[in-house]
Amino acid sequence: MKAIVEDTCTGCGVCVDTCPEVFELGDSDIAIVIADPVPADSEDACRDAADQCPCEAIVIQD
Ligand code: SF4
């Protein structure tokens, strides 16, 4: 599984709080993906982060 953050990200930090194994706030204060592919034991949290993103900026590719 792969996670992508699109440029609609506002840097709110929800995904970082929900799934810190995969998301981090980068230098430009937008989220970046730090685990590619997503580790199997982080997949559920990663999907939760995508569901909770207020900007629908996280795309999951299975
Ligand atoms: Fe960006 Fe969405 Fe993560 Fe917020 S939850 S930092 S808008 S990708």
14 lines ligand 1 (CB under 6 A): yes
Residue nearest to atom 1 of ligand 1 (CA): 9
Q: Is 19 in the pocket of ligand 1 (CB under 6 A)?
A: no
Mutate to test the pocket of ligand 1, among 7, 23, 34 (most ligand atoms within 8 A of CB): 23
Q: How confident is the model over 25-38, as a mean pLDDT?
A: 95
**Mean pLDDT of the 4-31 span:** 96
Instruction: Count CB neighbours of 53 within 10 A.
Output: 22
Query: Alpha-carbon distance 45 to 8, whole Å?
Result: 21
b/e per residue, 8-47, with b = 16+ CB within 10 A? ebebbebbbebbeebbeeeeeebbebebeebeeebbebbb
Share of the chain above pLDDT 70, in %: 100
Taking the whole predicted model, whether its pTM rises above 0.85 is answered as yes
> 5 alpha carbon to ligand 1 midpoint, in Å?
8
Q: What is the mean pLDDT of residues 39-60?
A: 98
Fold of 2-61: Alpha-Beta Plaits (3.30.70)
Domain locations along the chain: 2-61
